[in-house]
A and B are shown apart, each in its own frame.
Chain A
Amino acid sequence: MRGALSNAKGRLKRFWRGLREWCGDAAYENYKKGAMRRGQENVLSPTEFYVEQLKKKYSQPNRCC
Chain B
Amino acid sequence: MKRILQIVIWVALAVVAAAALATIALHRGEPISATWFVLAAVCSYLVAYRLYSAFIAAKLLALDNTRATPSERRDDGRDFVPTNKWVLFGHHFAAIAGPGPLVGPTLAAQFGYLPGTLWLIAGAAFAGCVQDFVILFCSIRRDGKTLGEMARVEVSRRGGFIAQLAVLSIMIILLGVVALVIVNALKSSPWATFTLAATIPIALLLGAYLRYVRPGRVLEASLMGVALVLFAVVAGQWVSDSASWSRAFTLSGLALTFAIIVYGFAASALPVWLLLAPRDYLSTFIKAGAIFSLAAGILFVRPHVLMPPLTRFVDGNGPVFAGRIFPFCFITIACGAISGFHSLISSGTTPKMIQRESHARFIGYGAMLLESFVGVMAMVAACAMTPGVYFAINSPAQIVGAAPEAAAQTISSWGYPVSAVTMASLAHSVGEQTLWNRAGGAPSLAVGMAQIFSTTIGGEHLLSIWYHFAIMFEALFILTVLDAGTRVGRFMIQELLGRVWKPIGRLNWYPAILLSSAMIVGAWGYFLYQGVVDPLGGINSLWPLFGISNQLLAAVALVVATTILLKMGRFKWIWVTLLPMAWLVVITMTASYQKIFSANPRIGFLSFANALAAQIAGGQIPAAKIGETQRVIFNQRLDTAVTAVLTIMILVLLGEAIVQWHALLSRGKEPVLHETPYVATQWAEGD
* List of A residues within 8 angstroms of B281 by Cβ: 23
Which of B95-103, B255-263, B572-580 interfaces with chain A?
Answer: B95-103
* List of B residues within 8 angstroms of A65 by Cβ: 98-100, 174, 178, 334-335, 339, 341, 481, 546, 550
Give bound CA distance, A40 to B481, whole Å. Answer: 36
Give bound CA distance, A23 to B97, whole Å. Answer: 16
Give bound CA distance, A52 to B79, whole Å. Answer: 11
Assess whether A59 is in contact with B273, with CB atoms less than 8 Å apart. no
* List of A residues within 8 angstroms of B98 by Cβ: 63-65
Task: Say which residue of B272, B273, B488 sits within 8 Å of A60 (CB atoms).
Answer: B488
Give bound CA distance, A47 to B75, whole Å. Answer: 21
* List of A residues within 8 angstroms of B305 by Cβ: none
Asked if B219 is at the interface of the complex by the 8 Å CB criterion, the answer is yes
Give bound CA distance, A23 to B491, whole Å. Answer: 25
Give bound CA distance, A25 to B284, whole Å. Answer: 14
CB distance from B629 to the nearest CB of A (A): 31
Q: Mark B333-348, 1 if CB is under 8 A from A, else 0.
A: 0110001011011001
Give bound CA distance, A2 to B251, whole Å. Answer: 60
* List of A residues within 8 angstroms of B480 by Cβ: 63
Q: Which residue of B lies closest to A44 (CB)?
A: B78
Give bound CA distance, A62 to B345, whole Å. Answer: 6
Assess whether A18 is in contact with B216, with CB atoms less than 8 Å apart. no
Given contacts A23-B281, A61-B341, contact A55 B272 (CB under 8 A): yes
Task: Say which residue of B95, B167, B272 sits within 8 Å of A64 (CB atoms).
Answer: B95
Assess whether B272 is in contact with A54, with CB atoms less than 8 Å apart. yes
Task: Say which residue of A45, A50, A58 sits within 8 Å of B276 (CB atoms).
Answer: A58
CB distance from A54 to the nearest CB of B (A): 5
Task: Say which residue of B81, B100, B216, B491 sits within 8 Å of A50 (CB atoms).
Answer: B216
Q: Mark B284-312, 1 if CB is under 8 A from A, else 0.
A: 11000000000000000000000000000
Q: Which residue of B lies closest to A60 (CB)?
A: B348
Asked if B153 is at the interface of the complex by the 8 Å CB criterion, the answer is no
- Residue among B96, B215, B491 with the highest chain A CB neighbour number at 10 A: B215
Assess whether B342 is in contact with A56, with CB atoms less than 8 Å apart. no
Asked if A35 is at the interface of the complex by the 8 Å CB criterion, the answer is yes
Assess whether B487 is in contact with A58, with CB atoms less than 8 Å apart. yes
What's the count of A-B pairs with C-beta under 8 Å? 127
Q: Mark A8-37, 1 if CB is under 8 A from B, else 0.
A: 000000000011111111011011001100
Assess whether A59 is in contact with B341, with CB atoms less than 8 Å apart. no
* List of B residues within 8 angstroms of A19 by Cβ: 219
* List of B residues within 8 angstroms of A27 by Cβ: 216
Assess whether A56 is in contact with B79, with CB atoms less than 8 Å apart. yes
Asked if B403 is at the interface of the complex by the 8 Å CB criterion, the answer is no
Asked if A51 is at the interface of the complex by the 8 Å CB criterion, the answer is yes
Among B447-484, those with CB < 8 Å from A are 480-481, 484
CB distance from B132 to the nearest CB of A (A): 10
* List of B residues within 8 angstroms of A49 by Cβ: 215-216
* List of A residues within 8 angstroms of B284 by Cβ: 23
* List of B residues within 8 angstroms of A25 by Cβ: 216-219
CB distance from A1 to the nearest CB of B (A): 28
Assess whether B277 is in contact with A61, with CB atoms less than 8 Å apart. no
* List of B residues within 8 angstroms of A24 by Cβ: 216, 218
Assess whether A63 is in contact with B211, with CB atoms less than 8 Å apart. no
Give bound CA distance, A49 to B210, whole Å. Answer: 12
Asked if B485 is at the interface of the complex by the 8 Å CB criterion, the answer is yes
CB distance from B441 to the nearest CB of A (A): 13
* List of B residues within 8 angstroms of A62 by Cβ: 95, 345, 348-349, 484, 488
Asked if B357 is at the interface of the complex by the 8 Å CB criterion, the answer is no
Assess whether B219 is in contact with A23, with CB atoms less than 8 Å apart. yes
Give bound CA distance, A50 to B81, whole Å. Answer: 15
Assess whether B215 is in contact with A64, with CB atoms less than 8 Å apart. no
Q: Which chain A residues have a beta carbon within 8 Å of chain B's beta carbons?
A: 18-25, 27-28, 30-31, 34-35, 38, 45-47, 49-65
* 16 more CB-based (< 8 A) A-B contacts, given A23-B218, A23-B222, A63-B484: A18-B86, A21-B84, A21-B87, A22-B90, A22-B91, A25-B218, A34-B75, A34-B76, A49-B216, A58-B484, A59-B487, A60-B146, A60-B349, A61-B344, A63-B480, A64-B345
Closest 10 CB pairs of A and B: A34-B77, A61-B344, A46-B215, A63-B484, A50-B216, A31-B77, A65-B100, A47-B215, A22-B90, A21-B87
